[in-house]
Structure 1
Amino acid sequence: MRFTSETTTSTGVSEGRFVLDGIPGVLWSPADAFGPRPLILLGHGGGQHKCAPGLLARAHRYVTEFGFAAAAIDAPGHGDRPRTAQDERFAVQLRNGMAAGEPVGELIAQDNAVRAAQAVPEWQATLNALQSLDRIGADGPVGYWGVSLGSMIGMPLVAAEPRITAAVLGLVGYDILTDAASRLTVPVQFLLQWDDEIVPRAAGLALFDAIASPEKTLHANSGRHVDLPRFEMGSAERFFARHLVDNAVTTGAR
């Protein structure tokens, strides 16, 4: 992991941009951080990037309100990563389909599944590198937050990665995720938009039903795919505080 820049905000948030094997990412942590602390992995949505406004706001809240660290990487074909010819074809197909009022959920699912197969090992390598840093440590608990594309990547990642002990997922409902859902065992908070024009309501509910975690909670809100209420940010914070803080090593954590 090579850090390319590091800045500190007036609120005491250190933002370190890094590259790991060609994967660009960013780490947010308290400016004076030393010692183990909870780490939240943030997965951005389709068409977004590691510093999208919503992710940036979440990261700063986790740092300033809880003393956590947070990290995000660009998904394949997003942000500062190169776009392939297939990426360009998908963008055209998606744009044309939406303009024509056609269902695009299956098209998005197929594309996102390919990206997830690449991104899961990238996230695991990133987690290895992050936990080698003194400001995070190898013993702190890890959570994952990601919806839409962030869940297409996050659900198989959480299923495969025992270091992640709590997850906020949602805005997905594709059959391709059923196997990963059946292998989840950690606490899960699942977000569903009742009027989602991309993910049919029944599909989202079926995927929630397939999640095997003994502790799972469904948060269903009115609105379309991008209308996730702002108050769900606070709900996710309380969820992670409940499941990660009790397991954190607090000595010297701030």
Structure 2
Amino acid sequence: MRFLVEEISDGVSERRFTHGDVPGVLWTPAGAVGGRPLVLLGHGGGGNSRTPVLAARARRLVTEYGFAVVAVDTPGHGDRPRSARDAWFEAEIGALLAAGEPLSRGIAEHTAALAERAVPEWRAVLDALGGLDEVGAEHPVGYWGLSLASVVGLPLVAAEPRITAAVLGLAGHESLTGAAARVTVPVRFVLQWDDELVERTAGFALFDALGSAEKTLHANPGGHAGVPAAELESAARFLERHLRAPVAPGLPAGSVF
């Protein structure tokens, strides 16, 4: 992991880095010493690890909850090379949003291919962060990602035992049900009732497919990009509750009572 630049403001250290050819950003409390829970923050289609909305969410997770937060550019996004297929994906998403039409099979196949590439990248970044004193390898890890970041997040959460809780949603396609069935950690699933990209029944089906014993469905009125601020605040408290859960004396980390 190679850190490129650090900016400190309002008590938050924001460091841009590269891990191999994957760009990303790490947010931690300024001057932090010792490890802490880590939140992996995914971005939506067409975004990147430096999207202002994502950065603002990361900074609040640092200042209000004391977490470390990391985001990386999904293949074909941000500073990463873009193929003709990536350009088509971005244009197609825009066209579907403008027309108020649901995701096509072509987009579902493309995002699945992006996820296949992104999962090992996320796991490698997680390995590298475990070696940093201000993050550490012994603390719980959470994942927060909606829309494209949920398509990436489902197979990641299913494959990565270090992730102990996840916020997912704004996604739904039959190609995701296999990964969803392998997810067993607590999940908060967000659904927009009037989502123009994800059909409501597809969102319900994906939630139903989750293998988690503890899962909650949070549905709000509005379109794909209209998740209310209160829902986002509540999702942060969900992560805080699970990443800082009490551990009984003598029980291994992660044993909740």
Superposition pairs for residues 160-239 of structure 1, below 5 Å? Answer: 160-239=159-238
Q: Could you tell me whether the CA contact under 8 Å between 1:141 and 1:244 is conserved in 2?
A: yes
1:86 deviates by: 1.6
1:58 deviates by: 1.2
Cross-structure match for 2:48: 49
Which consecutive residues of structure 2, in runs of 5 or more, have no partner in the other structure? 248-257
Counterparts in 2 of 1:113 and 1:236: CA distance versus 1, 3 Å:
same
Counterparts in 2 of 1:30 and 1:96: CA distance versus 1, 3 Å:
closer
Superposition pairs for residues 91-170 of structure 1, below 5 Å? Answer: 91-96=90-95, 102-170=101-169
CA distance in 2, matches of 1:206, 1:171: 12
Which consecutive residues of structure 1, in runs of 5 or more, have no partner in the other structure? 249-254
Give the aligned residue type for 2:236.
E
Cross-structure match for 2:7: 7
Q: Could you tell me whether the CA contact under 8 Å between 2:24 and 2:71 is conserved in 1?
A: yes
Counterparts in 2 of 1:34 and 1:172: CA distance versus 1, 3 Å:
same
User: What RMSD over aligned residues (CA atoms) do the two structures have, in Å?
Assistant: 1.5
**SS at 1:246's partner residue?**
coil
TM-score by length of 1: 0.93
Cross-structure match for 1:58: 57
Deviations 1:96-142 (A, max 9, x none): 55556654343321111110000000000000001110100110110
Give the aligned residue type for 2:62.
V
**SS at 1:206's partner residue?**
helix
Q: Could you tell me whether the CA contact under 8 Å between 2:101 and 2:197 is conserved in 1?
A: no
CA distance in 2, matches of 1:85, 1:94: 14
Counterparts in 2 of 1:98 and 1:147: CA distance versus 1, 3 Å:
closer
TM-score by length of 2: 0.92
Cross-structure match for 1:83: 82
CA distance in 1, matches of 2:246, 2:123: 21
Counterparts in 2 of 1:178 and 1:18: CA distance versus 1, 3 Å:
same
1:247 deviates by: 5.6
CA distance in 1, matches of 2:33, 2:111: 36
Cross-structure match for 1:40: 39
Q: Could you tell me whether the CA contact under 8 Å between 2:97 and 2:197 is conserved in 1?
A: no
Q: Could you tell me whether the CA contact under 8 Å between 1:221 and 1:228 is conserved in 2?
A: yes
Deviations 1:157-208 (A, max 9, x none): 0000000000000000111110111011100000000011110000100110
Counterparts in 2 of 1:244 and 1:100: CA distance versus 1, 3 Å:
closer
Cross-structure match for 1:251: none
Cross-structure match for 1:18: 17
Counterparts in 2 of 1:239 and 1:22: CA distance versus 1, 3 Å:
same
CA distance in 1, matches of 2:190, 2:104: 17
